[in-house]
Amino acid sequence: MLEPVQNPNSKWMVDPPPILRWLMSKVMGRVASTGHINKNRRQFEAQRVAQKQPHTVEYFHQLDDPYSHLMAQVLAQFAERYDVEVVPRLIRATGGKHQPEAKKLAAWARRDAALVAPHYGLTFPDAVGVTPDLEALQTATQALVNCDSLAFITKIKRISQALWSGSEGFEAMPDEDLATDAAATAALDQGSARLLELKHYSGASLYYGGEWYWGVDRLFHLEQRLRELGACHEPNEPYLVPRPEIDLTGVDAAHLALHFYPSLNSPYTAIIFDRTVALAKACGVAFHHKPVLPMIMRGVAATPAKGRYIFFDTKREADYFGVPFGHHVTPIGTPTRRAYALLPWAKSLNQDVALMSALLRLAFSEGKALHREKNLRLGVEAAGLDWQAAQKHLDSDDWKPLVDQHQTEMVEGMGLWGVPSYRLTGSDGEPDLAVWGQDRLWLIAAEIRRRAGRDSARSS
């Protein structure tokens, strides 16, 4: 079903009135303002220095979270390399609207962490299932509760490695000073309450100076910030977990296919759309553009806290890669439906990709409200299409079966529900690679290079 009859998100989130769209643009525009971000940072550092406080980084670890296992492998190095005081806290999975599709999320996180680990110079054991054994989890929690910060940082890699290696690996650990069940419960309560107080929802997260850094994927942003503050003991060393480069120079991937699942209301899609198209053109991979409805319209629960973090994080990623982002008006609801109504027609003219690109730019970089027809027209004409011809399709339902098919492929076929998502197919004997997130385009590029090189070697 394209849009559920009973959507857990309120109507004003799915189809906001114009005044609310305007208000949201102001609020989120401030969240994604480089000037506002830098001002907040200066104020925080001035207050910290005046109070003679250290650079304090709070770390939230969820023992059954695969991303926390990756972070456990670099936490001690991070604490050693930077002039920081790391305050670790144990938490439970947040669940609820912050983390809907809990079972799917656990399965995906397990798979995703294993995929990226070797590219980051990290490891993920093959032995364990989706989550570690419950009894081992309890023991690991008890082993960490009595630790001070230094002991936690020192032990967490070893304990997490044993925990994710299965019961035999955990049982082989030396005896620890185990806390009581009550103490373990209290520690999880306190850590989870602190996470909620700071308006976040994910394990493997670092918090410094009002900003969140989720997982090893975002650690380099915090490293960059601390280096700018002169808080790095080894400023000439590379980042602990640098973002892999995207390089497909000389690669011929014409025998492979890349299926791309974007959404018109996705900030992350907005900053990666054109780079995805450029990647496909660079290596000649067969490109299949498959837009889906925004998650909120599909009934995936959302919260304001999650929305703020996503918008801020997108801005941080966009600035790092030099992509304009932040001046926006949400196109969710009717503007998305009308825009998607144009896609089958645009596709028949080989311009659906150009149209989506233009609309994303207008909505997220230029602050053009797509619920206003004059701005929709700007997108159509920027894609090289005729507005008079486009108007005949604005209220068509021809797009619905097509987008419904895309959503079924992504959600049911790939087990994913977020955007942008990717599926790489082709190369004899190779399973499809399905990944989710703009920060996985490098992984798609690496896999294209590997498969293209493998097939080239076999044919030579």
Q: What is the CATH number of the domain that holds 389?
A: 3.40.30.10
Q: Classify strands 55-61 and 84-90 as parallel, antiparallel or unpaired.
A: parallel
Q: How far apart are CA 132 and CA 123, in angstroms?
A: 16
245 within a domain of the structure (yes/no): no
Residue 257's SS3 state is: strand
The contacts found for 123-129 with CB under 8 angstroms, 24 or more apart, are 123/73, 123/161, 124/66, 124/69, 124/70, 124/164, 125/161, 125/164, 125/165, 125/166, 125/169, 127/165, 127/166, 127/169, 128/164, 128/165, 128/166
User: Going by C-beta distance under 8 Å and a sequence separation of 6 or more, which residues neighbour residue 322?
Assistant: none
Task: Tell which residue, 345, 373, 98, 95, has the closest CA to residue 212.
Answer: 98
196 within a domain of the structure (yes/no): yes
14 within a domain of the structure (yes/no): no
One domain for residues 194 and 77: yes
Side-by-side strand order, sheet with 55-61: 84-90, 55-61, 205-208, 211-214
One domain for residues 340 and 216: no
One domain for residues 300 and 431: yes
One domain for residues 274 and 337: yes
178 within a domain of the structure (yes/no): yes
18 within a domain of the structure (yes/no): no
One domain for residues 327 and 284: yes
Q: Classify strands 257-261 and 286-289 as parallel, antiparallel or unpaired.
A: parallel
Domain ranges, residue 455: 257-459
Q: How far apart are CA 252 and CA 296, in angstroms?
A: 38
Task: Give the distance from CA 314 to its chain's centroid.
Answer: 9
216 within a domain of the structure (yes/no): yes
Helices assigned H by DSSP within 211-289: 215-228, 267-283
pLDDT in tens, the chain (460 residues): 799 999 999 999 999 999 999 999 999 999 999 999 999 999 999 999 999 999 999 999 999 999 999 999 999 999 999 999 999 999 999 876 666 777 888 889 999 999 999 999 999 988 677 888 888 899 999 999 989 999 999 999 999 999 998 755 566 455 568 899 999 999 999 999 999 999 999 999 999 999 999 999 999 999 999 999 999 999 999 999 999 999 999 999 999 999 999 999 999 999 999 999 999 999 999 999 999 999 999 999 888 888 999 999 999 999 999 999 999 999 999 999 999 999 999 999 999 999 999 999 999 999 999 999 999 999 999 999 999 999 999 999 999 999 999 999 999 999 999 999 999 999 778 899 999 999 999 999 999 999 998 665 555 5
**Single pTM value for the model:** 0.94
Task: Count structural domains, the chain.
Answer: 2
Are the CB atoms for 291 and 262 separated by under 8 Å?
Answer: yes
One domain for residues 188 and 269: no
